[in-house]
């Protein structure tokens, strides 16, 4: 995971998930996804899409984009809907990995300063505080 993030950062000179998606040829759409979905990653007809709930604030949109980018980089060929319907495999593992990837991507090249709490570090990097449990 860290190697993938380092290579992306080195090659594209950014950790902005929207810029990275553009560089990787992934279309980012903003749509109303209902009450329970913040975002999703879809691959259709050899095209890749990240769909983000349009009513999220900018902090959450950025995090969701990084999270969905993780699915593209870490879980190619896997489809959450197919996993739910046709397998006994638990998708929670992939969601946790994507959250960790998103945090590492958004904090690449940075680390907590002396005496800084994890919550303050994540806030300084504009990461939603709810994601602190995925920081390692």
The mean pLDDT value of the chain amounts to 87
For 100-118, how does the pLDDT look when each residue is reduced to its tens digit (9 = 90+)? Answer: 999 999 999 898 899 999 9
The 10 Å Cβ neighbour count of residue 22 is 14
Range of the domain at 111: 2-134
For 24-45, how does the pLDDT look when each residue is reduced to its tens digit (9 = 90+)? Answer: 999 999 999 888 889 988 888 8
SS3 62: helix
- What is the DSSP-derived secondary structure letter of residue 27? E
**CATH value at residue 37:** 1.10.10
Instruction: In whole angstroms, give the CA distance from residue 46 to residue 44.
Output: 5
**Which secondary structure element, helix H or strand E, spans residue 105, and what is its range?**
helix 92-106
Q: List the structure tokens of 35.
A: 């009450």
Count of the separate structural domains present in the chain: 1
Residue with tokens 């994601």: 131
């Amino acid at each position: 995971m860290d190697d993938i993030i380092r290579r992306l950062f080195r090659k594209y000179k950014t950790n902005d998930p929207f810029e990275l998606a553009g560089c990787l040829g992934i279309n980012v759409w903003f749509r109303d996804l209902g009450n329970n979905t913040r975002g999703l990653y879809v691959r259709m007809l050899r095209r890749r899409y990240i769909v983000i709930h349009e009513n999220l604030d900018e902090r959450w949109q950025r995090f969701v984009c990084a999270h969905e980018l993780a699915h593209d980089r870490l879980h190619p060929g896997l489809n959450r809907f197919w996993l739910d319907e046709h397998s006994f495999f638990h998708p929670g593992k992939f969601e946790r990995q994507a959250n960790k990837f998103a945090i590492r991507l958004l904090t690449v090249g940075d680390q907590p300063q002396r005496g800084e709490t994890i919550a303050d570090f994540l806030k300084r990097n504009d990461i939603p505080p709810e994601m602190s449990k995925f920081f390692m």
